[in-house]
Every structure is written in C-alpha cells, then in structure tokens.
Structure 1
Amino acid sequence: MSEQATHAPDLEQIEQLALAALERLPAAFRAHLGDVVIRVEDFADDELLDRMGIEDPFELTGLYFGRPVGEKSSSDSGTLPDMIYLYRRPILDEWADTGVSLEALVTHVLVHEVGHHFGLSDADMHALEDAAG
C-alpha cells in the first residue's frame, strides 16, 4: 500500500483538487475568477468563527471573502483580492461521514463559494456544480 493511501490528504492535495474543479467550470465563469485567490487551511481561525457565531470549527468547510461581481465598482481599487477559503479538516470530516468522493466534495464546497462570488442563488449553484462535476 502506498504511503499516500495511508495518510489523509494534505493542504496541497486539497488545493490541487480545488484547482482542478475550478478548471472544470464553464469558461464564462472562469473568465471572472482570475483574480480570486484560493486558500486551503486546516480550520477557520477562532476570531472568524466567533464573528460568524460558529462554535464547532468542523461546521465550516469553506468561505468566500469579497464583494460579489455585480457589486464591484471602480472605487474598489486597492482592496484585497477576493478569496475563497477551503477548510481541510472539516472537509475531510464530511468526506468520512458521507462517503462522497473527496473530489466531488471539494468541488461542491468550491462551487458554493464561487457562487457567492457571483451572487448566485442555491439553484444556480447546483446547476454550476453539475456543469463542473
């Protein structure tokens, strides 16, 4: 058995799954994601969890920071780039609990956060996820 098969995927492996999912999105969406930074961390930090009213760090698998595309303006110059955070440990926990493939789960979380970037409804996010699947 390979060493990779005996260890949980690390931050870099989750990031590679996310980047592959991003590449599968329709070109019309990818064209507006060039400046979005994708970060993978083990958990959201305590300050963020407190601000969001989340007590269990395993409840947050991903988060979008930024302004949706339709709300951007030229006065946004000099602001930090939009960011999508994926949280590895909660994703792995959900993976173990659901039996869904890790690739499908990372795609699901990423698409949900991309949806926030575009200001999409849940129905639109599901359609985008189907296109990226």
Structure 2
Amino acid sequence: MEMDADAFEKLVVDELDRLPDDMVDGLDNVVFVVEDRPEDGSLDLLGLYDGLALTERGGYGMGELPDRIVIYREPHLTECESDEELRDEVHTTLVHEIAHFYGIDDDQLHELGWA
C-alpha cells in the first residue's frame, strides 16, 4: 500500500479524534509524532510509547519534556492492504500506545485483545 506522509498524518489525526474522550482527556504532557520508520530501519514496529507511564510518575512535575507516542508510517503501509485495514491498524496502534501511557503492559493488552 502507498500513502504519502501528509495523507498518513491526516489519517492518524482523524483516528486520534475518533478515540473516546475518557481515553484521551487524561493524556498529560504527551505529543503524537508520525515518523517513517523506527531508528533501526525495521518494519516490525508500528508504534512506540517513549516516556514514563502514569503509574511510575512519582516525582514527575513541571518542566519535564513531553512523552511521545510515535506512529510509524512505512510499517503500517507494509502491514495493510486497504484504507479500511490501515485505519483499523492505526486505531489499534494508538490505543495500544496510549495504554502504555496509562501503565497497561503488553500482557494486559493481550488479555484485552489490543496486542
């Protein structure tokens, strides 16, 4: 599947806007970033939460750099064959990475069907 960076970023923003308010309202000091690929160049990773989960923020306070949720364009395009499948996968990736912000680990995500 092919999609340029601008169109993919718009799709990510659209999917982020569709998430339930109670999921995104609690996001504090988090930025969403779209990148082509992970630093190692692999196509295996769809997204990444880079930060400190809420459950681990004992001394977290003012002046902290924002946590980042990174969505990788090329791995998504490699994984998906249609626009609908791409939207679903981006949605799932956003939920997965936001869950890490809230301290939900991969085992819990598997139990919930999101990993």
Task: Quickly name the TM-score band, shorter chain normalised.
Answer: 0.7 to 0.9
Moved runs in structure 1, 4+ residues, more than 6 A? none
Residues 52-108 of structure 1: CA deviation (Å, up to 9, x unaligned): xxxx70111110001112222354432210101111111100013x89621111111
Q: Give the aligned partner of residue 22 of structure 2.
A: 28
- Give the distance between the partners of 2:33 and 2:15, measured in 1 at CA: 14
- Give the distance between the partners of 1:35 and 1:125, measured in 2 at CA: 27
Q: 1:102 to 1:26 in 2, by over 3 A?
A: same
- Give the distance between the partners of 1:125 and 1:70, measured in 2 at CA: 21
Aligned-residue CA RMSD (Å):
2.4
Q: TM-score, normalised by structure 1?
A: 0.70
Q: Which has the larger radius of gyration?
A: 1
Q: TM-score, normalised by structure 2?
A: 0.79
- 5+ residue gaps, structure 1: 1-6, 47-55, 127-133
Count of aligned pairs between the two proteins: 110
Counterpart check, 1:8 vs 2:33: no
Counterpart check, 1:63 vs 2:48: yes
Q: Give the aligned partner of residue 75 of structure 2.
A: 90
Q: Give the aligned partner of residue 111 of structure 1.
A: 95
Q: Are the equivalent residues in 2 in contact too, given 1:112–1:125 (CA < 8 A)? A: no
- Give the distance between the partners of 1:114 and 1:72, measured in 2 at CA: 15
Q: Pick from 33, 38, 45: which aligns with 2:32? A: 38
- 5+ residue gaps, structure 2: none
Tell me the amino acid that sits aligned with residue 90 of structure 2: V
